[in-house]
Amino acid sequence: MGTFGTGSCRSALAVVAAAVALAACSSIPTPSMPSLPSSSWFSSSRPEPATAADASAAVPEAKIECPSVSVRRGASTYTIYTNPADQSALNVRYQATVVDTARECHVVNRIVTMRVGVQGRVIVGPAGAPPQVEVPLRLAVVMEGIEPKPITTKLVRIPVTVPPGDMNVLFTHVEEQVSFPQPPGDQIDSYIVYVGFDALAVREPPVKKKPAPKPKPKPKPAT
């Protein structure tokens, strides 16, 4: 089971506030976020069995309550700094946020398959963002209770193009295959799909220092 990054909410809010203030000072308009109905996220038809034999063997779909989607606390923002050691507002390259979600699910042969849509926004910071950025998004299905039980998890890396001069870029990702066995009875009522940015998933491994070369043996004096 993967883990979500747990950066400080206060520092994230401070960075957002600073970015908004800086955008206001430079007279950069901030576009409003469109509200998308769930039906517009999933325009393609549901996947069907590949062959007639599969279709005849498939168990008819069951009626279930589709698990809700919630943004993981502490993982709603993802901030990249020019220098990670200096996490000041002026050192922000860009920040990604989750702004909307949608979901759709169906059951075939007692397997629940969900399509989870996530809409987000990339805000360019004072330090400037590269032409294309990548945001790490994790989706985790959890059975909530006294002791939450992880069911399945998936990490996706979403490329986002940042056009020159555009300070606010919207992006949308639809994850087609979030699947898990259908739980018995009404247990699915306690299932929740958490989404959020997983900063730990993209941390670069430490650079291994090359061992110092062994000193060459001194040549023996000629006799």
pLDDT band at 40 (very low <50, low <70, confident <90, very high): very low
Domain count, the chain: 1
Asked if the structure places residue 43 within a domain, the reply is no
Asked if the structure places residue 66 within a domain, the reply is yes
pLDDT at residue 65, rounded to an integer: 84
What domain range includes position 143?
9-36+59-202
pLDDT at residue 202, rounded to an integer: 62
* Residue at 29: amino acid letter: P
Give the largest CA-CA distance in the chain: 95
How much is the mean pLDDT over the chain? 75
Which one is predicted more confidently, 126 or 44? 126
With CA atoms as reference, report the closest residue to 4 among 78, 67, 69, 68.
78
pLDDT at residue 84, rounded to an integer: 86
Kindly tell me if the per-residue pLDDT of 190 is higher than 80.
yes
In this prediction, what percent of the chain has a pLDDT beyond 70? Answer: 62
pLDDT at residue 159, rounded to an integer: 94
Tokens at residue 84, please?
Answer: 């990670």
Asked if the structure places residue 223 within a domain, the reply is no
Q: What is the DSSP string of 78-138?
A: EEEESSTT---GGGEEEEEEEEEEEEEEEEETTEEEEEEEEEEEEEE-TT---SEEEEEEE
Asked if the structure places residue 71 within a domain, the reply is yes
CB-based contacts of 134: which residues, under 8 Å, 6+ apart? 157, 158, 159, 160, 202
pLDDT at residue 141, rounded to an integer: 95
Which one is predicted more confidently, 65 or 96? 96
Asked if the structure places residue 215 within a domain, the reply is no
CB-based contacts of 48: which residues, under 8 Å, 6+ apart? 55
Q: pLDDT, tens digit, for every residue of 134-188? A: 999 999 999 998 999 999 999 999 999 999 989 999 999 999 989 999 998 889 9
C-alpha–C-alpha distance, residues 121 and 222, integer Å:
74
Asked if the structure places residue 216 within a domain, the reply is no
Asked if the structure places residue 219 within a domain, the reply is no
Asked if the structure places residue 113 within a domain, the reply is yes
pLDDT at residue 56, rounded to an integer: 46
Kindly tell me if the per-residue pLDDT of 73 is higher than 70.
yes
Contact 191, 183 (CB under 8 A): yes
pLDDT at residue 192, rounded to an integer: 95
